[in-house]
Amino acid sequence: MDRKRLFKAKDRRITRGYNKSTEEEKFRKRTIFFGGLTLLLGLAIVVWGIPFFIRLAELLDEKKNVSDSQVLNEDLIPPVPPRFAYVPEATNSASIPLIGYSEKNSSVEVFLNDELAVKTEADEEGEFNIEKIFLDPGENSLYSYAIDESGNTSDKSGLYSIIFDNIKPELEIEAPSGNETVYEQNLQIKGKSEPNARITVNGSLVLPDSDGNFIFDYELATDKNEISIIAQDSAGNVVSKNFTITYHP
């Protein structure tokens, strides 16, 4: 039993001696490190002088202030979506011009049928002008985005539908059958065109029904009467038919 206590006491003395030696080694290394650092700092002051370190501290402080300012002034707000002054619902032209408005100096991307068609820039007033955007035959869908100088992207603009139609509407005249002479003053003109077409007879507007059928009563003057019937569709395509009706009372 006495031998065990003797060994334990000896182990404690050895452990304490080892810990003391380790702490002394750590203290010695810290002393060498900080002593060397102090020596280098002293040499730097001798070589470059104290004003150098003062200027270095000022530059580091200025950099921190600039960085803080940039964080505070960073633009994280997206611009409003672009808007167009006028977009036709239908046209007979293969291309159309576009004028619109967006955030000043922003980039504007215009998509046609879900593909990027034009990229342009808004000026200092926020206005942008696209000389031509080419349409596909039939119905086209158009929308746009704005991207500001900080790289923020707007929401999608409103969706516009544009019909490109360059085919003239049909115009069938049932009566009169052609140039003819009549003996009644009232002439009934009957015909058919596209639904929603604009029909005129010598400049007077005629309202067709939902199928495009129309009837118009025209009062003839004595002798020759030039009759011009015009149909115009929503895209601006025009077709006309002309007759000469001679009236003898």
How confident is the model over 33-88, as pLDDT tens digits? 656 656 666 665 666 666 655 666 666 676 655 555 554 467 789 999 999 999 99
Secondary structure E strands in 10-158 = 83-84, 90-91, 95-101, 107-112, 115-121, 127-134, 138-147
For residue 25, the model assigns a pLDDT of 67
Q: Does one domain contain both 154 and 189?
A: no
Q: Does one domain contain both 127 and 99?
A: yes
Domain of 188: which CATH number? 2.60.40.10
Q: Are 249 and 214 in contact (CB under 8 A)?
A: no
| Cα–Cα distance measured from residue 102 to residue 125, given in angstroms and rounded to the nearest whole number | 9
Q: Does one domain contain both 159 and 95?
A: yes
| Cα–Cα distance measured from residue 233 to residue 247, given in angstroms and rounded to the nearest whole number | 32
| Cα–Cα distance measured from residue 176 to residue 187, given in angstroms and rounded to the nearest whole number | 8
pTM value surpassing 0.95 = no
Q: Does one domain contain both 36 and 108?
A: no
Q: Does one domain contain both 23 and 51?
A: yes
Strand order in the sheet with 180-182: 180-182, 238-247, 223-232, 198-201, 204-206
**Domain assignment of residue 207, yes or no:** yes
| 125-159 tens-digit pLDDT | 999 999 999 999 999 999 999 999 999 999 999 99
| 152-198 tens-digit pLDDT | 999 999 999 999 999 999 999 999 988 999 999 999 999 999 988 99
Q: Does one domain contain both 53 and 96?
A: no
Q: Does one domain contain both 31 and 90?
A: no
**Domain assignment of residue 142, yes or no:** yes
Residue ending a domain, among 73, 100, 118, is 73
Q: Does one domain contain both 189 and 154?
A: no
Q: Are 89 and 163 in contact (CB under 8 A)?
A: yes
Q: Does one domain contain both 210 and 237?
A: yes
**Domain assignment of residue 78, yes or no:** no
Residue ending a domain, among 55, 73, 91, is 73
Q: How confident is the model at residue 243 (pLDDT cuts 50, 70, 90)?
A: very high
DSSP string, 127-162: EEEEEEEEPPSEEEEEEEEEE-TT--BPPP---EEE
Q: Does one domain contain both 192 and 156?
A: no
Number of domains observed in the structure of the chain: 3
Secondary structure letter of residue 66 according to DSSP = H
Domain region containing 23: 2-73
Q: Does one domain contain both 152 and 183?
A: no
Residue 11 phi, psi (nearest 5): -65, -40
